[in-house]
Amino acid sequence: MGVKEDKFNFENLSVYQKALEYIDFVYTVTIGFPKEEKFGLASQFQRAAQSIALNIGEGSGGSRAEFKQFVRIARRSVRECIVCATIALRRNYITRQDENKSRSMCLELSKMLSGLLNSLNDS
């Protein structure tokens, strides 16, 4: 007999799943950052990526207005990740390919978060 998995509603959101994938990507690329960046850019990049998923989860437990505000914050965190990746590229901590992948993933997350926000406005 299979084990029934209990999930919170937000865990079924595609944007939440994409945010988790982005966190995995960020952790993979920041492993290669210099040691002196462990508590600097690497940590900031990881926290910004985490913030996307964390705000989706935290916001989903409140009112519609609260959820909308948390989704807006998640969207700001996506933009923060763009800046982190740009700095990392300029410092030669990541490749152009990784920066492009980060940018592509962030663009998709931003669109998905905007779609979620629009759906919350419509209902």
| pLDDT per residue as tens digits for the range 36-90 | 999 999 999 999 999 999 999 999 989 999 999 999 999 999 999 999 999 999 9
- Residue 51 placed within a domain: yes
**Token pair listed for 121:** 């406005």
- Residue 5 placed within a domain: no
Residue 82 C-beta-side C-alpha neighbours within 13 Å: 14
- Residue 4 placed within a domain: no
- Is 88:31 a contact under the CB 8 Å cutoff? no
- Residue 23 placed within a domain: yes
- Residue 2 placed within a domain: no
pTM to 2 decimal places: 0.93
Residue holding tokens 């988790």?
20
> For position 79, which CATH number holds?
1.20.1440.60
Residue holding tokens 């998709």?
108
Structural domain count, the chain: 1
Its domain, for residue 47, covers: 12-122
- Residue 74 placed within a domain: yes
- Residue 1 placed within a domain: no
Neighbours of 27 (CB within 10 A): 14
